[in-house]
Structure 1
Amino acid sequence: MLMSISVSAQYKPWTSAKQPLKEIKALKKQIKAPKFRKVDYLVTDFGAVGDGKTKNTEAFKKAIEKCSAEGGGRVVVPNGIFLTGAIYLESNVNLHLNDGSTILFSQDSNDYPIVFTRWEGMECMNYSSLIYAYEEENIAITGKGTLDGNADLDNWWFWCGATKYGYNETRPGRQNPARAKLHEYMAQRKPARERIFGDGWYLRPNFVQPYKSKNFYMADVLVKNSPMWNLNPVLCENVLIERVKVISHGPNNDGFDPEACKNVWIKDSYFDTGDDCIAIKSGRDEDGRDIGKPAENHIIENCEMKDGHGGVVIGSEIAGGAKNIYAIGNVMDSKNLDRALRIKTSSSRGGIIENVFFYNTKVGAYKEAAVRFNMHYEKPGNHIPTIRNIWVENLTVDKGGKYAVFSDAYETSPVTDFTMINAKMAGVQIPYKVDYLKNVTLKNVTVNGQPLTELKP
């Protein structure tokens, strides 16, 4: 039997943009970059060699451990290409990449120890992310250097069936049995630390994953060629990302996936990806619901999105819910960008997604929809999700795709309190395709020069 989510007594939809703009102003005062002791630890002083061939895993480990033990500071990577396995960030350490430096990550899975992690929103023991931290505080990755995940069709990506011709449907990805097993463990509620994967299971590691950590900062670096998700803080609080560039076109190469985090601000960053540019998450199915931590208080500001399945996305691993998501002043433009604002969930997830503010957005081209609601993403289950209080204002689209608004919801749980104000969308094939919407407000909305005054199934 399908179960709908009970409506919170505290729920109140916005009545004007002044309310979320005031909330954003207050939230910005809470999110701050950590401060570090002004002492540098040069990785070459610990034996690192930047020739692109010498493996420097131990040198990074020694430098970071000494820096943290002595009170913190910067672990500095000079000019050169520094090959390494997994890097573990300890408290009070800023991993700083000088301009002209590259950290090149090993393609050997043996260089990534088994740690407690999340894989597609499910907890397990699996390969360490390329850069990992667990229950650390005041950590950063900064500088104008490059983080190169070194993934390609011959290394990491083919684990999910990717080939230069796309996905080979006759040769399922090697990860498929492990993915199915992890779903099985989660449904059985097997203790997460007993869900052991790693060698022989082919679950790709993510790139940067601070886990249950506080005060994470990232600035200025270029991130490319990730095995899977790029930036994936999990259950973290106070996350600030600025001026970061992510260019990574592999399978499941989401740009920024904050998962069940609180107080997140990403600004002035660039995304050109093989999956969603920014995807806000809070865990899959049983794990997301049992842990019960929503994605909460996120600001996405002045970012640029190119290729990707979506620009600003909520889901699909969103069983813990999401609230207070503010996207302001962003620019999107690519024929290979599927959607501008995308909310994707399903009745296997459940959860409440509420208070989404999409403001002052400029869109050039996209493929499918400027605004997309989907409650039937992936398999169905017994937990009908809720999507409510979605506010879109000052949206311009120059060369639109198939739809302006596209909705696929449940009759028993319609998308509720959807507001669109001052939206001008051109080049759209079909103004809208919707099913179940409730309390829709449209003010000064045009599609291809014609007023859009209602959304009817």
Structure 2
Amino acid sequence: MKWSRLICLLSVAQFAAMLPATAQKLPVIQQAAFKKDTFRIQSYGAKADGISLNTTAIQAAIDACNKKGGGVVLIPKGFWLTGPLVLKSNVNLHLAKNSLLQFTSDFNQYKLVKSEWEGVPQMRNQSPLSADNQQNIGITGYGIIDGNGDAWRMVKKEKLTASQWETLVASGGVVNEQGNSWFPTEKGFKASKMKNPGVIEPGKTDEFYESVKDFLRPNLLVFNKCKRILFQGVTFQNSPAWCLHPLLCEDLTLRGVIVKNPWYAQNGDGIDAESCKNVLIEDSYFDVGDDGLCIKSGRDEAGRKRGIPTENVIIRNTTVYHAHGGFVIGSEMSGGARNIFVEDCTFIGTDIGLRFKTTRGRGGVVENIYVNNINMKDIPGEAILFDMYYAAQDPVPMAGEKREAPKVQLLPVTEATPVFRNFRINNVICDGASKAVFVRGLPEMQISDIEISNLVVKAKQGIDIQEAKGITLKNVKLEIAQTAPLINIQNSSNIKFAGIAYEKADRLFTISGEGTKNIQLSGTSVTAAGEKAVFKDGAAANVLEIKK
């Protein structure tokens, strides 16, 4: 049996055993465990009428549970309105069936706190759910946690139907001068015109931060420097910004969870594991407004100074519906990411399937990423994307939007130069995408050492490789609408194609750039192609070797 045929039959654990030593052992995630002692929030004065604010009562139950050595704080069935809550060690916040924990839309209940946004220290509103330096904490059960994000978020007109937009504008708030964005409050609208209003810097007073408070949307959940965390069974939804944000945490398990945000939710990520170690995400569902399953580790100089990668991550048996990306690394990955295993996941309607993004200025090394058994359907963008020119835009242009390709120039390598290397992607099926594979590195730091095997893609465009080296694609089946060319290669070297199946192609290759060399094609029929290759922009014809 051929090596590539064998791999597709293996689990990630078996697959990893055949890989370099860095990938031979799956990480072990320590599990949280809780006493059975139960603290009922009604005993502390909570009322399930959807009107009474239960912050004090629920927090009192959490505090009492913690002081008595831990246990379960029970949210019974019913509608429970609350302000922000702080979880503590050895407490399992458990939501019963038919329970709704609704966070208030009263911004006055959320104090301004020193926090982070996209890896940079900033003032933010206190998160509805937070924990700092705690151990053995959980949120479990069967109920719903709603962050009331609609009260906080701006909305772009282009993401709503005409009737939805009219209804939103009629509800109040402020529309910008261009008439294309709606803001819930005047204060939030004014702050949106400022550059980084939440950044903590000399000269900004408490009064200033208060003046931009409405703009400083909180993440629904932020756990900072916590250990042994369990999220299980519950639904997290409608977050003001990111939904789940574990930061500098260790031993996190997320199991059987549903994460939901409106598809138009600005910054409505599902989970952003940032500078975390030992993470297990399994048997869960994401349907959100930005990236679904996302790995981060800080941004630019601040992330490099922290210098803590996200590492030892297992993601399996998880489905992502709408999202900017199904599984994503970056773009804030300045502390690095490594030893990440993704297996048996399905992405339906995500803008991009596998999305690896960064840009100059980030720095950081992303390496040892292993992906196995991925199903995709109806992907508007790329099925597999590596891009070192991330520009903080929605991955798929809106109707009528024009975007220019980035200017390619060679710059010096510095600590701010990002690195992508050593990815192994196996057994991916995608029914519908704009492009099958897109790899775009930097002239000074090419993306390197990527192997993609057992890939089946139906897409408008085929394979596009720019500024890369050491790329291997084998056992690839392409059904491509635009076949001139099927494969584009620009300024790349040591690129190997083995066993590429396709029905037809007007042109098999377009190869360009003086830096292009050593392109090999084997195990592939060239008779279905109108022409084999076109060479331009300094690429020599002898860089392509075709073997039987």
TM-score range, shorter chain: 0.7 to 0.9
What pairs with 1:1-40 in structure 2 (closer than 5 Å)? 17-19=16-18, 26-28=25-27, 30-40=28-38
Match of 1:200 among 212, 220, 232: 212
Q: Is structure 2 residue 148 aligned with structure 1 residue 116?
A: no
Q: Do the aligned partners of residues 294 and 196 (structure 1) sit closer, same or farther apart at CA in structure 2, a change above 3 Å counting?
A: farther
For 2:442 and 2:235, the matched residues in 1 are separated by: 41
Q: Do the aligned partners of residues 97 and 20 (structure 1) sit closer, same or farther apart at CA in structure 2, a change above 3 Å counting?
A: farther
Match of 1:385 among 418, 440, 452: 418
Q: Is structure 2 residue 308 aligned with structure 1 residue 293?
A: yes
Query: Any conservation in 2 of the 1:211–1:234 contact (CA below 8 Å)?
Result: yes
Residues 249-302 of structure 1: CA deviation (Å, up to 9, x unaligned) = 221110011111111110000011111111111111121111111111111111
CA RMSD of aligned residues (A): 2.9
Query: Any conservation in 1 of the 2:16–2:25 contact (CA below 8 Å)?
Result: no
What pairs with 1:58-457 in structure 2 (closer than 5 Å)? 58-152=56-150, 155-158=151-154, 165=165, 170=178, 174=189, 175-177=191-193, 180-182=196-198, 185=201, 197=209, 200-201=212-213, 202-249=215-262, 250-334=265-349, 337-378=350-391, 383-398=416-431, 400-426=432-458, 428-448=459-479, 451=501
Identity of aligned residues (%): 36
Q: Do the aligned partners of residues 196 and 327 (structure 1) sit closer, same or farther apart at CA in structure 2, a change above 3 Å counting?
A: farther
Give secondary structure in 1 for the equivalent of 2:273.
coil
Q: Which amino acid aligns with 2:352?
A: R
Q: Which amino acid aligns with 2:501?
A: P
For 2:367 and 2:127, the matched residues in 1 are separated by: 30
Q: Which amino acid aligns with 1:200?
A: V
Displacement after TM superposition at 1:242 (Å): 0.4
Residues 289-321 of structure 1: CA deviation (Å, up to 9, x unaligned) = 111111111111110011010000001111111
Q: Do the aligned partners of residues 350 and 25 (structure 1) sit closer, same or farther apart at CA in structure 2, a change above 3 Å counting?
A: closer
Give secondary structure in 2 for the equivalent of 1:66.
helix
Q: Do the aligned partners of residues 178 and 317 (structure 1) sit closer, same or farther apart at CA in structure 2, a change above 3 Å counting?
A: farther
Displacement after TM superposition at 1:448 (Å): 1.1
Give secondary structure in 2 for the equivalent of 1:347.
coil
Query: Any conservation in 2 of the 1:124–1:193 contact (CA below 8 Å)?
Result: no
Displacement after TM superposition at 1:127 (Å): 1.2
- TM (norm. structure 1) is 0.87
Q: Do the aligned partners of residues 219 and 384 (structure 1) sit closer, same or farther apart at CA in structure 2, a change above 3 Å counting?
A: same
Displacement after TM superposition at 1:33 (Å): 2.2
Query: Any conservation in 1 of the 2:124–2:198 contact (CA below 8 Å)?
Result: no
Which shows bigger deviation, 404-413 or 162-171?
Answer: 162-171
For 2:385 and 2:439, the matched residues in 1 are separated by: 6
Query: Any conservation in 2 of the 1:126–1:198 contact (CA below 8 Å)?
Result: no
Give secondary structure in 2 for the equivalent of 1:103.
strand
Q: Is structure 2 residue 77 aligned with structure 1 residue 45?
A: no
For 1:375 and 1:444, the matched residues in 2 are separated by: 26
Give secondary structure in 2 for the equivalent of 1:389.
strand
- TM (norm. structure 2) is 0.73
Query: Any conservation in 2 of the 1:389–1:416 contact (CA below 8 Å)?
Result: yes
Q: Which runs of 5+ in 2 are unaligned?
A: 1-14, 169-174, 184-188, 393-405, 481-499, 503-507, 513-548
> Where does residue 541 of structure 2 map in the other structure?
none
Aligned residues: 432
Query: Any conservation in 1 of the 2:122–2:200 contact (CA below 8 Å)?
Result: no
Query: Any conservation in 1 of the 2:135–2:227 contact (CA below 8 Å)?
Result: yes
Query: Any conservation in 2 of the 1:116–1:123 contact (CA below 8 Å)?
Result: yes
Q: Which runs of 5+ in 1 are unaligned?
A: 1-15
Give secondary structure in 1 for the equivalent of 2:149.
coil
Q: Which amino acid aligns with 1:241?
A: L
Residues 115-145 of structure 1: CA deviation (Å, up to 9, x unaligned) = 3321122123321111000111111000000
For 1:292 and 1:275, the matched residues in 2 are separated by: 25
Query: Any conservation in 2 of the 1:434–1:456 contact (CA below 8 Å)?
Result: no
Query: Any conservation in 1 of the 2:123–2:216 contact (CA below 8 Å)?
Result: no
For 1:87 and 1:184, the matched residues in 2 are separated by: 24
Query: Any conservation in 2 of the 1:345–1:376 contact (CA below 8 Å)?
Result: yes
Give secondary structure in 2 for the equivalent of 1:350.
coil
